[in-house]
Amino acid sequence: MEQIRLDELNEEKVPVTEPERQEYYINLLRNYIDQCKKEGKTLTYCVQTFGCQMNAHDSERLEGILEKIGFVQAPTEDADVVLYNTCTVRENANKKLFGHLGHLKNKKQKNKDMLIGICGCMMQQKENVDFIEKSYKYVDLVFGTFNTYKLAELIADRLMSGKQVIEVLPQPKENVENLPQKRKYSFKSGVNIMYGCNNFCTYCIVPYVRGRERSRVPEDIMAEIKCLRDDGVKEIMLLGQNVNSYGTNYMGESEILKENPSYDFPDLLRDVCKIDGIERIRFMTSNPKDLSDKLIQVIKENKKICRHIHLPVQSGSSRLLKAMNRKYTKEHYLALVDKIRKELPDISLTTDIMVGFPGETEEDFLDTMDVVRKAEYDQAFTFIYSIRTGTPAATMEQVPEEVVKERFDRLLKLVQDIAAKRSSRFKGMVKDVLVEEEDEHEEGYLTGRMDNNITVHFKGDKKLIGSIVDVKLTEAKGFYYIGELIK
Ligand code: 5AD
Ligand code: SF4
């Protein structure tokens, strides 16, 4: 975008408090967009997201701000504003960004007014920002995970100064509520209940790029969910790096907490279940070290809570778990799985597993295989350990690549065999399915999700998208089912 004079910007009039300040900048930019429209130019945007649910949710906020300004969503990176919301959890995630950026250079040569922004976890690391500043001069905006809410202000800064704008905060400054959101699905949404992480697993970069744990007060969470409900949302996913430690470091005043200072995640779940109109509640992610009996009980008592727990194990070796600082042992983890299976027999259990953590021996790896056999996961996400500079494990002795690769292949095969066997256990049953979209591969078919998070494809009218229907599971296909709609 060309350098512009935002004439209306009057320093004295810019509010100092949030969210009023951002609303001011949104309005200011909207005037500029309206002017462009009058001249026959519609300005478009495209947000590309890497990484986890948390990032996907942040991107919906970024899109919400862009829409409120008046930009129109474009299906590809042929747009006037292109934003990359990055992830840095593994080296692969970093590489993806640079691939995309390379392609954009040509596009920007054709559309000189194009504005390129990079934000998210990768930008919280100084070496990445320095590299972009030095080698990617055509990038216009760089910001981090603690100031996504400032997108409008940062765009205005860029347009007025004509210079690259870089603003990365080392830690969060304030909690800004009530930001606009553009939901990918009209009927489901993520809701942050907490930010950051205090666990410092020795392989993980997240505590460094997302900061210390901060919990939103229950009133703010509930108000957001009620708004979503009024807007047609049926399913919500409560988001946090470790939802089981919800309740540390609250941001804001709360009557509920005054009455009950030991209010915790199961209490929050119980309260969210009471909100009429919300039919399904999910949560992500649970750290095994503090999944309580109280939580299991609350799930058992409330049918609205989906029968799915994502319980990352990372490794089955107690020795490695100690080196990872996970604070549980193989025995503790398996006992927890047994308890969950006994109390919640219809639960679907998924996990994350890492192979090749520094010092991993064949014996350690066989412990991981043993846990996979015993826990019988419905699905497991497997990762090769990736060095993250700045974490304690980065300086430990690494396992040779070919050893890791061979173990990874063995693990993947086991995980797939078990998941295929496991998931066929629902064959022949009739299940509630939330219809999510048209099937990408088969015309006239729809794709929906059961509460255990497994997908089903079945013939049906697209008018059903967003509703919960009964589907008979006729064919088990490993990770998904083919079904028939019950009229
Ligand atoms: N290398 C490989 N995988 C990692 N994960 C987190 N950090 C690393 C790393 N350095 C995996 C964990 C986590 C998931 C989100 O990513 O399994 O649960
Ligand atoms: Fe999510 Fe972690 Fe990746 Fe950030 S680094 S996007 S928090 S997985």
Average pLDDT over residues 162-175: 93
* pLDDT score recorded for residue 422: 85
* pLDDT score recorded for residue 7: 56
Q: Percent of the chain, pLDDT > 90?
A: 87
Residue labelled with tokens 């500029």: 32
* pLDDT score recorded for residue 255: 96
* pLDDT score recorded for residue 12: 76
Average pLDDT, the chain: 94
Average pLDDT over residues 292-300: 97
Which range among 124-133, 175-184, 201-210, 398-407 shows the weakest confidence by mean pLDDT?
Answer: 175-184
* pLDDT score recorded for residue 363: 98
Residue labelled with tokens 């399915």: 433
444: CA distance to ligand 2 center in Å?
36
Alpha helices per DSSP H over 260-393: 265-273, 293-301, 318-323, 330-343, 362-375
Average pLDDT over residues 170-198: 93
Nearest-angstrom CA–CA distance, 127 and 198? 23
Mutate to test the pocket of ligand 1, among 55, 354, 372, 399 (most ligand atoms within 8 A of CB): 354
Q: Percent of the chain, pLDDT > 70?
A: 98
200 alpha carbon, closest ligand: 1
* pLDDT score recorded for residue 60: 96
294: CA distance to ligand 1 center in Å?
28
* pLDDT score recorded for residue 436: 97
Alpha helices per DSSP H over 19-141: 20-38, 53-69, 91-110, 126-135
Any idea of the CA torsion for 372, 378, 384, 385, to the nearest 10 degrees? Answer: -70
Mutate to test the pocket of ligand 1, among 53, 54, 88, 90 (most ligand atoms within 8 A of CB): 90
b/e 430-450 (16+ beta carbons within 10 angstroms → b): ebebbbbeebeeeeebbbbbb
The tokens of 351 are what? Answer: 């996990």
Residue with the smallest CA separation from ligand 2 atom 8 is 52
Residues 6+ apart with CB under 8 A from 175: 214, 216, 251, 252
Q: Residue 4: pLDDT above 70? A: no
Q: Which residues approach ligand 1 with their CB closer than 6 A?
A: 89-90, 203-204, 312, 314, 352, 354, 383, 385-386, 388
Angle at 185 between CA 180 and CA 186, to 5 degrees: 70
The tokens of 146 are what? Answer: 């603690």
Residue with the smallest CA separation from ligand 1 atom 7 is 204
Confidence of residue 6 (pLDDT cuts 50, 70, 90): low
- pLDDT tens digits, one per residue of 33-64: 998 889 999 999 999 999 999 999 999 999 99
* pLDDT score recorded for residue 248: 86
Nearest-angstrom CA–CA distance, 140 and 158? 7
- Residues 91 and 63: beta-carbon distance below 8 Å: no
Average pLDDT over residues 304-317: 97
Residues 6+ apart with CB under 8 A from 384: 354, 355, 356, 404, 405, 408
Best CA proximity match to 117, nearest among 191, 42, 62: 62
- pLDDT tens digits, one per residue of 446-465: 999 999 999 999 999 999 99
- Residues 326 and 368: beta-carbon distance below 8 Å: no
Atom of ligand 2 nearest to the CA of 121: 4
Q: Residue 475: pLDDT above 80? A: yes
Q: Residue 3: pLDDT above 60? A: no
Q: What is the DSSP annotation of 419-444?
A: HHHHHGGGTT-EEEEEEEEE-SSSTT
- Residues 83 and 62: beta-carbon distance below 8 Å: yes
- pLDDT tens digits, one per residue of 246-274: 998 999 899 999 999 999 999 999 999 99
The tokens of 185 are what? Answer: 């699905």
Kindly state if the Cβ of 211 falls inside 6 Å of ligand 2. no
Confidence of residue 8 (pLDDT cuts 50, 70, 90): low
Q: Residue 113: pLDDT above 90? A: no
- pLDDT tens digits, one per residue of 413-447: 999 999 888 878 899 999 999 999 999 999 999 99
